[in-house]
Amino acid sequence: MNMPSDKARALPLGALYIDGEWRNAEDGGTIAVINPSTEEQLATLSAATANDVAAAVVAARAQVDGGPWSRLSGAERGKLLWRLADLVDANRENLAFLEAIDIGRPYFEPYTFEIPLVADTFRHFAGWADKIVGQTFNLPDFAGRPRHSYTLRQPLGVIAAITPWNAPTMIASWKLATALAAGNTVVLKPAEDASLSTIRLVQLAEEAGFPPGVINLVTGTGSIAGDALVRHAGIDKISFTGSPEVGRTISAIASQSFKKVSLELGGKSPQIMRQDADLDLAIGGAAISFFANQGQTCACGSRLFVHRSLANEVTQRLVEAARAIRVGDPFAPDTQMGTLINAAQMRRVTGYVEKGIDEGAKLIAGGSRLAQPGFFFQPTIFLGSNDMTIAREEIFGPVATIIPFEDDEEALRLANDTNYGLTSVVWTRDLAAANHYARSLRAGSVWINAWGPPHPALPWLGVKTSGLGEELGLSGLLANTAEKTVSMVA
């Protein structure tokens, strides 16, 4: 894997972007950006105040309430999104560098997967921008006069887009692409631990030619900038991706003013390895699902249900796979796993490992922090049961639990016995079994014989504690629009 050139290692300005201007927070407040691989300060970010947030919302409102953006055709919006996609491709190394250094993940991951998907996402929704249509109705005459009824599908207005730190560029692209294709404007609030690549993405959007005020960026804390944004009366929809705890708070605030919300939250996703699984495929795929991005993916398949007849072999092979993973510097060409995001996440992961041991789970791989600077943690596997805390709560780290099962009925019951419902994986060669699981698993998505990131054409959603509302796909696009009924009586 080629590493980023010196030019691609440029850090962006840590400023706010409001109404087409890059500026500091009104009170000059900043947040230190820590490099999780070294624990040293890397940069500073502006910490937006409530007034900064209000200025961003006013700018976004002006564009959507009769401003030039509101008069742009869908095709013109599509052209801007397409141009942004081309700029993402041209800046792939820099975006991947910023994401890797900011969150401590191996450079090859965003370079190979997320950044190309970011460009694909903008292109996919560029294609939809001029295809958003209403409906027409053949209704009886009204009061003896011909009636023509139809619906207009219009943008919602200003979207507050709040993103987490674990896949910051990709998730920002999901929210920007769907909101902008549908004609909305956006105030974007990235996570305080991972804003660098998002700042760069907004710089690229400026270069692509989006008018001032259409995309606004307010970096800063959740408790000040995020809170001010979700409470602002000028926001029409909050599109949030993050933890269930913050999602609950946001949902309660939004309900006071009946703002629309979409909540993409956590997961505790099951993988089911049937007796007939192709083990080479399944073991490799399961390990990627456990440890990609240090297990800090919402879709992490952290509960692996293995048919009892395979349990010994699968356990042994997964332990070997975990021990062979090279953990270290995100920019070393042979690194496969980087760091956790910060000290708090290290305490969280360590705490869950201790809890697993206390509750009687058998630690069969990893379990410790590396004795070096940086928040490096070993790939960790337990043999346990579905009622243990490590199998019930989202750890959001490189910790998986293997749980043997006897038959399909038990596997399905255990897989669905969770508060979450984001994604799920079934490893099988049996089409009838695959079909049965696809219909019966309570989750927003089901992978059969693979695990990977969401594709922009497919709706992405969670059930139960994993969320509310769709993102991506046609339904994710239409979730950024409102349908209005018009009845014309001639």
Q: Which is nearer to ligand NAD, 34 or 265 (CB)?
A: 265
Beta carbons within 8 Å of 12's beta carbon, 6+ residues apart? 98, 196, 199, 200, 203
Sole window of 26-34, 69-77, 108-116, 262-270 interacting with ligand NAD (rule: CB under 6 A):
262-270
Active site residue 300: no
Q: Which of positions 274-303 make contact with ligand NAD (CB under 6 A)?
A: 298
Q: Which is nearer to ligand NAD, 219 or 336 (CB)?
A: 219
Q: Which of positions 162-201 make contact with ligand NAD (CB under 6 A)?
A: 162-167, 171, 189-192
Q: Which of positions 229-248 make contact with ligand NAD (CB under 6 A)?
A: 230, 241-243, 246
Q: How many residues bind ligand NAD (CB under 6 A)?
A: 32
Q: Which of positions 379-438 make contact with ligand NAD (CB under 6 A)?
A: 394, 396, 422
Q: By CB under 6 A, tell whether 264 contacts ligand NAD.
A: yes
Contact 311, 403 (CB under 8 A): no
Active site residue 264: yes
Q: By CB under 6 A, tell whether 462 contacts ligand NAD.
A: yes
Q: Which is nearer to ligand NAD, 87 or 201 (CB)?
A: 201
Q: Which is nearer to ligand NAD, 206 or 227 (CB)?
A: 227
Q: By CB under 6 A, tell whether 227 contacts ligand NAD.
A: yes
Catalytic residue among 93, 109, 206, 264: 264
Map tokens 């008069």 to a residue: 71
Q: By CB under 6 A, tell whether 261 contacts ligand NAD.
A: no
Residue of minimal CB distance from ligand NAD? 222
Give the whole-angstrom CA distance, residue 450 versus residue 420: 20
Catalytic residue among 99, 298, 394, 471: 298
Residues with catalytic roles = 264, 298
**Contact set with ligand NAD (CB under 6 A):** 162-167, 171, 189-192, 222-223, 226-227, 230, 241-243, 246, 249-250, 264-267, 298, 394, 396, 422, 462, 467
